[in-house]
Amino acid sequence: MAAGSDTLVRFQGVEKSYDGVRFAVRHLDLDIARGEFLTLLGPSGSGKTTTLMMLAGFEQPTAGEILLEGRPIARLPPHKRGIGVVFQSYALFPHMTVGENVGFPLSVRGIGRAERDRRVARALDMVRLPDYGARRPSQLSGGQQQRVALARALVFEPPLVLLDEPLGALDKQLREEMQLEIRHIHERLGVTMVYVTHDQSEALTMSDRIAVFRDGAIRQLDTPQALYERPADAFVAGFVGENNRLAGRVAERDGDMAAIVLADGRRLWARRADAGAEGSPAILSVRPERIAVAAAAADDLGENALAATVAEVIYLGDHVRVRLSLADGAEITAKRPASAAMAGLVPGAAVAVAWQPEHAVAFAP
């Protein structure tokens, strides 16, 4: 099948094994659209860097093919692929000035002095380091060095930029600033960016789409909202955002919904993700902000509600987190706006917890 005109990159059955025994990437089919911000998200060792390095040309697939603009790139060396790369470590040349570092990709491409200076100045402007060209990398902070690395990846105006955990070494505030800056640069230049992170909140903040990796394969590829609201399996639900898990069995299936029966016999309806047939074990997952907490006696519980005892209430300014114990000893956490928290929400209080069936998801364990 030919790649569509809005497909910039296509991975086709790509596999990678470094040692011929274990697979770093198992079987990858992935289309990257022109202009999108795609994030590869997953735990350490799940194959994100390997995927990025195969696209950049620093690693070769063991099987399968990568197409760029519809053309196989297996034989193209990295510098002929027209791809900007920001590596996991900054990888600036310590003996060169900032300006020489940023100009390096232009020198390699034989671009003359005057043009080079002009483009370097523009790239440093873009990352808000206009007056730093004469400094050495060692004279810059971590955040500034990472901006230089970004300028170096952008300076030859590649249509595709790959970034491998570029903000991993920065503190939280600087990281959040840089997330927005990179996102703004993406919007302004219209380049395609493929971004690697193991930080789910970073992925949710920055991406048009997120590919969730586990063990060298993509478990789900979706928009941030779809990933959060409709996780495909228990791994994705646990990796993206917080979730409560209740163990049970599938009691009944009805279209997209499934009734899960808990150990104490209560039935709860949920959207069925990959939960199996009637009788098979299942996990019911629900986000903390979807759980309503109300005063109620155990015997007048409505549909889809559980009796619980308040274990702890943690005040966090704009919201409260309520830890609750269920009858069978399981624990769940609810997150409520501080303004909407009920009176009498104190440890030991007997309450009912409830949520809409469509806000719960039933998974295979």
Q: Which stretch binds Mg ion (CB under 5 A): 12-20, 44-52, 79-87, 294-302?
A: 44-52
Q: Which is nearer to ligand ADP, 160 or 196 (CB)?
A: 196
Per CB under 5 A, 101 contacts Mg ion: no
Torsion of CA 18, 24, 26, 30, to 10 degrees: -110
What is the C-alpha to C-alpha distance for residues 303 and 47, in angstroms, rounded to an integer?
43
Question: Could you say which of 39, 46, 49, 207 contacts Mg ion (CB under 5 A)?
Answer: 49
Stretch that binds ligand ADP, among 1-9, 44-52, 61-69, 327-335 (CB under 6 A): 44-52
Using CB under 5 A as the binding rule, whether residue 220 contacts Mg ion is answered as no
Q: Residue 124 or 161: which CB sits closer to Mg ion?
A: 161
Q: What does the radius of gyration of the chain's CA atoms come to, in whole angstroms? A: 25
Q: Which two tokens stand for residue 158?
A: 């590649």
Q: Which residues pair with 16 in a beta bridge?
A: 25
Q: Which residues of 353-362 are buried (b: 16+ CB within 10 A; e: fewer)?
A: bbbebebbbb
* Beta strand pairing call for 83-86 and 160-164: parallel
Tokens 């992925």 correspond to: 203
Kindly tell me which residue out of 28, 42, 102, 354 binds ligand ADP, with binding defined by CB under 6 A: 42
Q: What is the nearest approach in angstroms of ligand ADP to the Cβ of residue 196? A: 6
- Provide the minimum distance between the beta carbon of 213 and ligand ADP in the complex, in angstroms, as a whole number: 6
Going by C-alpha positions, the residue among 234, 245, 235 that lies closest to residue 42 is 235
Q: Which is nearer to Mg ion, 64 or 168 (CB)?
A: 168
Out of Mg ion, ligand ADP, none, what residue 45 binds, judged by CB under 5 to 8 A for its kind, is ligand ADP
Helix (H) or strand (E) holding 4: none
Q: Which one among 8, 10, 47, 195 touches ligand ADP, defined by CB under 6 A?
A: 47
Beta partners for residue 189, in sequence order: none
* φ/ψ of residue 278, rounded to 5: -50, 135
Q: Does 39 bind Mg ion (CB under 5 A)?
A: no
Binding partner of 24, given ligand ADP, Mg ion, none, CB within 5-8 angstroms per partner class: ligand ADP
266 binds, among Mg ion, ligand ADP, none (CB under 5 to 8 A by kind): none
With CA atoms as reference, report the closest residue to 160 among 90, 83, 106: 83
| Residue from the set 14, 24, 30, 66 that interacts with ligand ADP by CB under 6 A | 24
Closest approach of Mg ion to the CB of residue 205, in Å: 19
Question: Is 179:21 a contact under the CB 8 Å cutoff?
Answer: no
- List 26, 27, 45, 168, residue binding ligand ADP (CB under 6 A): 45
The one-character DSSP state at 141 is: -
| Amino acid (1-letter code) at residue 144 | Q
Q: Site for ligand ADP (CB under 6 A): how many residues?
A: 10
Task: Pick the piece of the chain touching ligand ADP (CB under 6 A) from 47-55, 263-271, 284-292, 345-353.
Answer: 47-55
Q: Which is nearer to Mg ion, 7 or 88 (CB)?
A: 88
Cβ distance 163 to 194 under 8 Å? yes
Q: Name the residues that contact Mg ion, by CB under 5 A.
A: 49
